[in-house]
Chains A and B, each alone.
Chain A
Amino acid sequence: SQKIEQNSEALNIQEGKTATLTCNYTNYSPAYLQWYRQDPGRGPVFLLLIRENEKEKRKERLKVTFDTTLKQSLFHITASQPADSATYLCALPDRGSTLGRLYFGRGTQLTVWP
């Protein structure tokens, strides 16, 4: 199995600033890592996937890094907006899984205030 820790349960930032969320894992290094967004009472929504041989991935205002030496992924939201307020989940695959069984972190609740 895999133990995943996401930094502080809650992060509050001002609109326009960059939010940086951390995901650390402790066991094996996964072949890839995913980030999801979850709004209250809703299912997770996929945001980005980064593979072990990729250092960085970008999508619009989102950026993900993956450091297999540190066993860490950082998730950045630049020019944050109140609409970015949600819980962000880090997810890693089970090493022995052939069908994408994922382990999720507990998430970081991001609040962007105007």
Chain B
Amino acid sequence: EPEVTQTPSHQVTQMGQEVILRCVPISNHLYFYWYRQILGQKVEFLVSFYNNEISEKSEIFDDQFSVERPDGSNFTLKIRSTKLEDSAMYFCASSRPLSSYNSPLHFGNGTRLTVT
């Protein structure tokens, strides 16, 4: 069964550095998402992306964050000038193009970001 793949599985960075988290969504999906989960907390929505532009973003997704689909397969999340509180598990997800309003999300296994 096709799956969403994320790299790296674990990223350690120093405060103030930039990181790029990478995702390869399922190939026939057209809707892409980033969620994050701080240890012990809820899974939280960051951003949704469709047709090469951001569709929705949460209050968490401020100017420090950006997303990009640089080619036909990758979907990236960039965090500029990381802060300690950015430490979390970041999940990429994708969903099918038809009836996407209530289509389930297919999640990757996440990138654990540790900011020191």
| A residues with CB within 8 A of B | 31-32, 34, 38, 41-46, 49, 51, 89, 91, 93-94, 97-107
Contacts A34-B104, A100-B95, A102-B105 known; A43 to B110 CB distance under 8 Å?
A: yes
Q: Is the CB of A49 within 8 A of B102?
A: yes
Pairwise interchain contact B55-A32, C-beta atoms closer than 8 A: no
Write out, one digit per residue, whether chain B residues 42-64 have a CB within 8 A of any chain A CB (1) or not (0).
11110010100001101000000
How far is it, in angstroms, between the C-alpha of A31 and the C-alpha of B93 when the chains are bound? 21
Q: Is A46's CB under 8 angstroms from B105's CB?
A: yes
A97 adjacent to B56 (CB under 8 Å): yes
A34 vs B108: C-alpha distance when bound (angstroms): 17
Q: Assess whether A44 is in contact with B91, with CB atoms less than 8 Å apart.
A: yes
A36 to chain B, nearest CB (A): 8
Beyond A42-B109, A100-B103, A101-B48: 5 further Cβ-contacts under 8 Å? A43-B108, A45-B107, A99-B56, A99-B100, A100-B95
Min CB gap B50→A, angstroms: 6
Give the complex CA separation of A103 and B4 in angstroms: 20
Alpha-carbon separation in the docked complex, A42 to B4 (Å): 12
- CB-CB < 8 A to B100: which residues of A? 99-100
- Measured in the bound complex, the distance between the Cα atoms of B53 and A10 in whole Å is 40
B31 touches A44 (CB 8 A): no
Q: Closest residue to A47 on the B side, CB-wise?
A: B104
**Cα of A31 to Cα of B108 in the assembled complex, Å:** 25
The reply to whether A32 and B102 contact each other, CB–CB distance below 8 Å, is yes
Q: Identify the 9 closest CB pairs spanning chains A and B, nearest first.
A: A43-B107, A46-B104, A104-B43, A99-B48, A99-B55, A32-B102, A43-B109, A43-B91, A104-B42
